[in-house]
């Protein structure tokens, strides 16, 4: 996109007046939006429109910042409805915020302190996706699309890393005003192959020597070597947002972990492996979930139902219908219930 | 120059357009008004190339590499158009080789210049150079109507290698995939010159390492090493930096003689540590040369050697215990003795389970007795046989 096609937004309300009128007419106003003042611009695929008046419908940076604050403090914190419905609304409105950032060119060039503000907004978004990935993972696909959430998380992360590299080159000191350390560690923990590790190993030594980054590297290497126990152990010492991200990533490894233990413990006569022990290794909340997962993968339980049987000759099968993506954990739920959502999203609960 | 062009002597013309040739030392070539002189002496389309080349030389003499790159880039683009019009003819390939090489060299220098000025994006000139070379590549690849002798497709591998060098430098390995596919599909795959094949296999081998495809990596890098000319010691050393760790992972340790011969003593401590099953020594060895290993991109494979080291350590412990049912505590004690901090039974069992999963130990863990029950026959199969 050439610089010439970037628009300078001039809208100073959370929702452009034109849009509010149209939506009111067509009954498209959400329950959260009780009046014009609480209406928030929604996401629309076609960013086309009369280019002359377009800037009126695009919010300027200060307004975007305030919109995000409103969504977090007045919608999420107030908690007037279910988490899933809150997520739906805020997900869409955040997407519109990010869209407004893109069309104004904020993700491309460097604009000094404003780029730091943009980075902060994206950091809030990243934490938003991680928070809800964790809290809604136990819902069926019709209520929460883990896939879509993950895609947006990935996109946001790569946009952020891009911004950090610009800030680093233009004005290194400004980097300290961002949460780049936390985000670099997050990116590493969520990386699906060794490319993330390769990148992390080449970070400047000042970044690498930071405890959070160092631990994240150690966790990733442990996982790469198959040492799940060590990885889980180190992860317990991570800040909250990183722990959630770690668990989200770990759930993808559950089939592999089960495979390793099955192979390592199986005997011709059949070994009984306690579900409670396996539960800890697989990071499941209850033995029952663990049992469901094992059975879904083709394993059998013993008569008491408290152990799974690992016997030579069993063929494991992995499908997406099993519990594999369920991140629910009682302890974490309690912690998160007691943390104000906006605090977490602003990065204050580290 | 004109006569070489007329006689279609590719090598001669290429010398005149190359920065490796001594003619670049001559001050007379870039004297005032050289452009008019060229136009007088040389016919189109060659005159444009010569002028651009001399302009580039001018910039180089003033150490203005960004501008030199600009001129060279224009030269390559002019050549590309010209090349395309030469039907059923490939004598100009020699020219293509030298101007492509120079283009990449100037792009590197231009990026260094930009970096000093605080540039936005590192490697942006190299990226542009890659696009330029892709233009040339398409001309070569599309030439499938000409006879085998006259086809421009012979130029494909040279360009692919230049592009590999760029992509590796700017860390965009995923762009190599399409090029590899193109070469694999080519009927000339095994008939390109040996030196081009060696270079090609070196990069494809390195890419395989990055993707954890160690078997393929071994295949490619071994070819490159064995076919690389004896006298290109530097290149042989470069190949070994990647071949040695890969072979170690697959169960073959290098001899001290090899490491000394190619000045790769950074690996000797690693080799010794793995052989002994000495984790502490391995960790220290990795720490000692971590900058070197990370820079070359082999640090992660060397970390993976920990698994081999665990296997060697556990084999020793097992032999000492002289039984087929070894308490897990024995392995835990061995790990603690090796300086592994904060380790417990859970983690020890996890490490052992992984070794069994990878077929490096034949046996199973008895949960009720907390023992490793090993097979009576060959419980620690030789690594080379497994991989």
What is the CATH number for B311?
1.10.10.10
Identify the CA nearest to B76 among candidates B61, B54, B97: B97
- pLDDT per residue as tens digits for the range B228-276: 998 899 999 999 999 999 999 999 999 999 999 999 999 999 999 999 9
**Mean pLDDT of the region A29-56:** 79
Q: Tens of pLDDT along B133-182?
A: 999 999 999 888 888 888 889 899 999 999 999 999 988 898 999 999 99
Q: What is the pLDDT of residue B253?
A: 94
Yes or no, beta carbons of A202 and B351 under 8 Å apart: no
Residue span of the structural domain in which B372 resides: 307-385
| Domain presence at residue B337 | yes
> Closest to B350 (Cβ–Cβ): which among A169, A229, A266?
A229
Residue range A277-282: average pLDDT? 95
Nearest chain A Cα to B119, which residue? A169
**Number of structural domains, chain B?**
2
Which residues neighbour B180 within 8 Å (Cβ) at sequence distance 6 or greater? B204, B207
In angstroms, rounded to a whole number, what is the distance separating the alpha carbons of residues A277 and A283? 10
pLDDT of residue A2: 46
Which of B298, B343, B347, B368 is most worth mutating to test chain A (most A CB atoms within 10 A of its CB)?
B347
| Domain assignment of residue B322, yes or no | yes
CA A350 to centroid of chain Cα atoms: 16
Distance between CA B240 and CA B324 in Å, rounded? Answer: 40
Lowest mean pLDDT among A71-80, A140-149, B82-91, B336-345: B82-91
User: Is B176 an 8 Å CB contact of chain A?
Assistant: no
Q: How confident is the model at residue A170 (pLDDT cuts 50, 70, 90)?
A: confident
**Is the model's pLDDT at A50 over the cut of 70?**
no
Which residues of chain A does B119 touch, with a Cβ-Cβ cutoff of 8 Å?
A: 169
B375 domain-assigned: yes
Q: What is the mean pLDDT of chain B?
A: 89
Last residue in a domain, options B163, B192, B221 = B192
Q: Are residues B150 and B19 in the same domain?
A: yes
Contact A229 B297 (CB under 8 A): no
Q: What global pTM score does this model have?
A: 0.88
**Residue A111: what pLDDT?**
83
Model confidence at B367: pLDDT above 80: yes
Q: How far is B357 from chain A (nearest CA, A)?
A: 5
| pLDDT band, residue A122 (cuts 50/70/90) | very high
A vs B: CB pairs below 8 A: 87
| CB pair distance less than 8 Å for A225 and B366 | no
The ipTM value here is 0.90
Is residue B93, in this structure, part of any structural domain at all? yes
Q: Indicate whether B176 and B31 sit together in one domain.
A: yes
A169/B119 Cβ within 8 A: yes
- Pairing label, strands A307-310, B371-374: unpaired
pLDDT on residue A112? 84
* Residue B25 vs residue A42, higher pLDDT: A42
B199 occurs within a structural domain: no
Q: What is the pLDDT of residue A1?
A: 44
CA gap A216, A221 in Å, rounded: 9
The CB-side HSE value for A193 (13 A sphere, CA atoms) comes to 6
Q: Which of B192, B210, B238 is the last residue of a domain?
A: B192
Give the model's pLDDT for residue B60. Answer: 84
Query: What CA–CA distance (Å, rounded) separates A279 from A290?
Result: 6
For residues A218-230, average pLDDT: 96
Give the pLDDT of residue B51: 83
Nearest to A264 among B121, B300, B352 (CB): B352
Instruction: Report the share of chain A in percent with pLDDT over 70.
Output: 95
In the predicted model, is pLDDT for residue A331 greater than 50? yes
Q: State the pLDDT at residue B20.
A: 76
- Give A74's DSSP letter: I
Average of pLDDT values for B71-85? 89
Q: Where does a domain end: B176, B192, B208? A: B192
Structural domain includes residue B348: yes
């Amino acid at each position: 996109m050439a610089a010439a096609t970037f628009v300078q937004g001039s809208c100073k309300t959370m929702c452009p007046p034109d849009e509010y009128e149209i939506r009111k007419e067509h009954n498209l106003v959400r329950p959260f939006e009780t009046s014009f003042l609480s209406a928030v611009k929604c996401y629309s695929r076609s960013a086309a429109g009369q280019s002359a008046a377009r800037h009126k419908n695009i919010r300027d940076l200060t307004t975007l910042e305030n919109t995000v604050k409103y969504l977090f403090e007045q919608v999420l914190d107030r908690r007037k409805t279910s988490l899933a419905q809150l997520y739906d609304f805020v997900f869409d409105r955040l997407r519109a915020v990010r869209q407004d950032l893109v069309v104004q060119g904020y993700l491309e060039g460097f604009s000094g302190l404003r780029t730091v503000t943009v980075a902060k907004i994206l950091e809030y978004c990243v934490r938003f996706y991680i928070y809800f990935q964790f809290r809604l993972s136990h819902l069926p696909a019709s209520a929460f699309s883990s896939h879509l959430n993950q895609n947006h998380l990935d996109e946001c992360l790569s946009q952020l890393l891009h911004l950090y590299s610009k800030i680093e080159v233009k004005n290194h000191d400004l980097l300290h005003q961002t949460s780049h350390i936390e985000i670099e560690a997050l990116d590493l923990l969520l990386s699906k192959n060794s490319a993330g590790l390769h990148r992390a190993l080449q970070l400047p030594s000042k970044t690498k020597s930071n405890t959070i980054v160092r631990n994240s590297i150690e966790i990733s290497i442990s996982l790469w070597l198959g040492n799940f126990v060590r990885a889980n152990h180190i992860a317990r010492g991570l800040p909250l947002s990183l722990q959630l991200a770690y668990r989200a990533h770990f759930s993808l490894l559950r089939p592999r972990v089960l495979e390793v233990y099955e192979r390592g413990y199986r005997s011709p006569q059949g070994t009984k492996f306690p579900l409670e022990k396996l539960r800890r290794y697989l990071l499941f909340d209850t033995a029952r979930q663990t049992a469901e997962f094992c059975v879904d993968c083709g394993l059998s339980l013993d008569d008491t139902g408290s152990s799974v049987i690992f016997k030579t000759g069993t063929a494991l099968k992995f499908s997406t219908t099993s519990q594999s993506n369920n991140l629910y954990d009682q302890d974490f739920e309690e912690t998160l219930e007691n943390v104000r959502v906006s605090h977490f999203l602003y990065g204050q609960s580290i | 120059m004109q006569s070489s062009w007329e006689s279609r002597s590719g090598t001669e013309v290429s010398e005149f357009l190359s920065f490796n040739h001594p003619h670049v030392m001559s001050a007379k070539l870039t004297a005032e008004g050289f452009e008019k002189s060229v136009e007088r002496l040389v016919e189109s389309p060659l005159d444009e190339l010569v002028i651009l080349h001399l302009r580039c030389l001018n910039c180089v003499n003033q150490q203005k590499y960004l501008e030199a790159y600009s001129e060279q880039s224009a030269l390559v683009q002019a050549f590309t158009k010209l090349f395309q019009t030469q039907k059923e003819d490939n004598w100009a390939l020699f020219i293509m080789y030298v101007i492509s090489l120079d283009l990449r060299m100037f792009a590197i220098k231009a990026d260094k210049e930009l970096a000093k000025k605080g540039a936005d994006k590192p490697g942006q000139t190299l990226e542009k150079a890659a696009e330029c070379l892709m233009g040339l590549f398409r001309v070569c690849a599309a030439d499938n109507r000409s006879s085998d002798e006259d086809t421009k497709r012979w130029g494909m591998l040279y360009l692919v290698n230049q592009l590999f060098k760029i992509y590796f430098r700017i860390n965009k390995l995923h762009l190599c995939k399409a090029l590899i596919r193109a070469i694999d599909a080519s009927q000339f795959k095994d008939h390109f010159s040996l030196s081009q094949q060696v270079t090609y296999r070196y990069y494809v081998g390195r890419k395989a390492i990055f993707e954890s495809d160690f078997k393929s990596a071994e295949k490619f890098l071994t070819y490159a090493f064995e076919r690389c000319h004896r006298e290109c010691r530097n290149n042989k050393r470069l190949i070994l930096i990647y071949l040695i760790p890969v072979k170690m992972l697959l169960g073959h340790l290098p001899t001290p003689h090899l490491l000394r011969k190619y000045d790769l003593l950074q690996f000797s401590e690693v080799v010794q540590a793995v052989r002994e099953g000495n984790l502490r020594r391995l960790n220290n060895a990795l720490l000692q040369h971590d900058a070197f290993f990370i820079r070359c991109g082999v640090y992660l494979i060397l970390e993976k050697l920990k698994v081999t080291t665990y296997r060697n350590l556990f084999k020793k412990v097992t032999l000492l215990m002289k039984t087929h049912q070894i308490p897990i505590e024995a392995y835990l004690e061995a790990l603690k003795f090796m300086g592994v901090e904060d380790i417990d039974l859970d983690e020890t069992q996890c490490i052992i389970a992984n070794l069994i999963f990878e077929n490096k130990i034949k046996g199973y863990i008895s949960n009720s007795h907390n023992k490793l029950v090993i097979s009576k026959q060959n419980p620690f199969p030789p690594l080379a046989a497994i991989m």
